[in-house]
Structure 1
Amino acid sequence: MTAALNGRRVLVTGAGGRIGLVAVQRLNELGALVTTLSNAEHPDLKADRVVIGDTRSESDVAAALSGAEYVVHLAALAHPSAGTPYDVYSINVVSTFNVLAQAGALGIKRAVVASSINAIGLPFNLHDVRPAYYPWDERMPVDIADAYSLSKQNDENTTRMAWRRWGIDVVALRFPHTNSAAILQAQADQLREKPAAGLREAWSYLDTRDAASAIELGLTAELSGAHTFFVAAGTTNAPYRTDALLDAFAPDVPRLRRFVGREVPIDLTAVRTVLGFEARYELDLPTLEL
């Protein structure tokens, strides 16, 4: 059991979502006293305290933050098509600002925020864009053409502002497609037939159980400041060598190094070094010739 969280009050927003449900379960297992803030009840959500409200509401967030020592902010419209561009952008950025501003003003010392690989703008871009290089890393140039990706980029800006303004240490996790093992396997089966479909996400993925582990580490790691990390499984979700995939579908993009087998073409050095994260639930796929 992680002693740092045992008996501590943790607020989780968006707790009824795909990552939120598993994160709350993990925090419960660690002995945390979990408060959840969601916009609707969920039959599978089990927490010490359940608040139904809106993360844009100052009063709802204030009520949910009562007694909290840590914050996990997952609430968001999680796709460009989840609402109008106005709704996707405004709900996401106002929610993140509201939660971090109130947490910071209360003197809460640590928050974890769900960002996304879309913060660099590539997966949902309207144009046929390519990354500046492989492997992707946190210093990559961005090219954004949709409201969701812009909201995630500005959520990361908000984490930096909150740290400078209130001194709250914040970890922003750039999650890739994150789902259950069964759904990830089904996606891998599709990519076996159509591997080009995974190009824009660099064939990256994450099991929800590993996402919960990353959140735990984000809450407990010894660090200060506002940090952004790519977090993903160490392997791709396509049954082909990564170098072969890049030769076939991104031959014009510079490679800073070669890749071993199905190694994901995202640099995970920062999350491994600073948080100590390593995915445990990776897809067991063959390595085929493309």
Structure 2
Amino acid sequence: MSELNGRRVLVTGAAGRIGLVTVEHLNALGAKVTALSNVPHPDLKADRVLIGDTRSEADVARALEGAEYVVHLAALPHPSAGTPYDVYSINVVSTFNVLAQAGASGIGRAVIASSINATGVPFNPHEIRPAYFPWDEKAPSDVGDWYSLSKQNDENTARMAWRRWGIDVVAFRFPHVNSADALERMAGHVKENPVSGLREAWTYLDTRDAAYVVELGLTAPLSGAHTFFVAAGTSSAPYATEDLLDAYAPDVPRLRRFVGREVPMDLTAVRTMLGFQARHELDLPTLPLPLPLSLEL
């Protein structure tokens, strides 16, 4: 039986892509879920469903009533999801409001959705790529857009909340997260244009695995504020990783070699500290990388 059985968990952004699946997963574990969303959704089923704004002190206070854990997923998820002001301000104010109130009320654990974009690489207006492979949480950042800046500052807020109130916070740097069908379609695009996956190190995650890692983030025996890359263990491309790197990133340092379609991201931290291993990975063949190669990102 899960230790979340019978425990009250607040999930913000509950009607979102990750939120819906996370609520369903927590329901199955026996948790009493309070789902907070800014819009109603016909598929959102929880013990409590509230419509509200995560920037509102009153709405968040109401949603936190009785909560023992928090999963904060509410955000505008892309630089183009609103004006630069809206994307940045909504994301950072929401995260501050949720973690500050949760911490001040004595809640001991929160999970928040950061993003691979906290590194600044995927949406950067300049021609950059990861500093080295396998990419890890210690790699330098280079932020050139407001969404990535918001996610970087969400991680700063997590560290502040832990230092101020002692609330343990787990921040997941999610890659592209989607349903199995959507990921299959994405893989088809990457097959035709392999370089399109370079800035995210050909990473992806099934929404079911996102919900699973949220569970682990809530229950793992750790303390402090932690940031984890999380992804499937295999790449989104039907080509050997070494071939992809030889073709599209020959000048980027490689700290080790990669076997088959092994994702060129270091998942050691999330695997050792949380015990996470993706359960739903793309079933792709390993094909010869076609020539001529397009280098257009």
Q: Which of the five TM-score ranges fits, normalised by the shorter chain?
A: over 0.9
- In 2, the alpha carbon distance for the partners of 1:63 and 1:278 equals 35
Distance 1:86 1:265 in 2: 33
Q: Matches of residues 1-290 of structure 1 in structure 2 within 5 Å?
A: 1-2=1-2, 4-290=3-289
CA distance in structure 2 between the aligned counterparts of 1:18 and 1:149, rounded to whole angstroms: 19
Q: Which residue identity is paired with 1:154?
A: N
CA positional deviation for 1:131 = 1.8
Check whether the contact 2:111–2:170 (CA below 8 A) recurs between aligned residues.
yes
**Structure-2 separation of matches of 1:79 and 1:132:** 23
Off by >2 Å, runs of 4+ in structure 1: none
2: CA distance between counterparts of 1:99 and 1:187?
A: 33
Secondary structure of residue in 1 paired with 2:80? helix
User: Matches of 2:129 and 2:203 in 1, distance apart?
Assistant: 16
State the SS of the aligned residue for 1:237.
coil
RMSD between superposed Cα atoms in Å = 0.5
Q: Between Structure 1 and Structure 2, how many residues are aligned?
A: 289
Letter in structure 2 aligned against 1:204: T
Secondary structure of 2:86's match?
A: helix
**Which amino acid is 1:180 matched to?**
S
Separation in 2, partners of 1:131, 1:269: 17
- Select between 140-149 and 187-196 the one with higher mean Cα deviation: 187-196
| 8 A contact 2:17–2:207 mirrored in 1 | yes
Instruction: Out of 191-200 and 71-80, give the one that drifted further.
Output: 191-200
Residues 206, 281 of structure 2: 8 Å contact kept: yes
Contact 2:129 2:198 in 1 (8 A): no
Give the Cα separation in 1 of the matches to 2:189 and 2:163. 44
Could you tell me how far apart the structure 1 residues matched to 2:129 and 2:76 are? 25
- Partner of 1:80, secondary structure, is coil
Task: Give the drift of 1:103.
Answer: 0.1
Equivalent position amino acid for 1:85 in 2: P
**Cα deviation 1:175-202 (Å, max 9, x = unaligned):** 0000000000011011111111111111
8 Å CA contact 2:81, 2:87 repeated in 1: yes
| TM-score, normalised via structure 2 length | 0.97
- SS of 1:213's partner is helix
Distance in 2 separating the partners of 1:35 and 1:52: 11
Q: Which amino acid letter does the alignment assign opposite residue 194 of structure 2?
A: P
AA at the equivalent of 1:47? A
1:203-232 CA deviation, whole Å, 9 max, x = no partner? 000000000000000000000000000000
Q: Per-residue deviation at 1:19?
A: 0.3
- Counterpart-to-counterpart distance in 2, 1:130 and 1:285: 25
Paired residue type of 2:221: E
Matched residues in 1 for 2:40 and 2:129: separation?
Answer: 41
- Among the aligned pairs, what percent are the same residue? 79
Letter in 2 for 1:258: R
* Amino acid across the alignment from 1:135: P
Residues in 2 aligned to 1:185 and 1:51: alpha-carbon distance in whole angstroms: 33
Q: Please tell me the residue identity of whatever aligns with 1:283.
A: L
- SS at 2:6's partner residue? coil
Task: Determine helix, strand or coil for the equivalent of 2:210.
Answer: helix
CA–CA separation in structure 1 for the residues paired with 2:247 and 2:163? 44
- Looking at structure 1, the residues matched to 6 and 243 of structure 2 have their Cα atoms a distance apart, in angstroms, of 49
Q: How far does residue 130 in structure 1 lie from its aligned partner after superposition?
A: 2.1
Q: Distance in 2 between matches of 1:286 and 1:168?
A: 44
Q: For the Cα contact (< 8 Å) 2:190–2:236, is it kept in 1?
A: yes
Q: CA deviation at 1:26?
A: 0.4
Distance 1:193 1:142 in 2: 29
| Structure 1: gaps of 5 or more residues | none
Q: Is contact 2:134-2:266 (8 Å) kept?
A: yes
Deviation at 1:162, TM superposition (A): 0.3
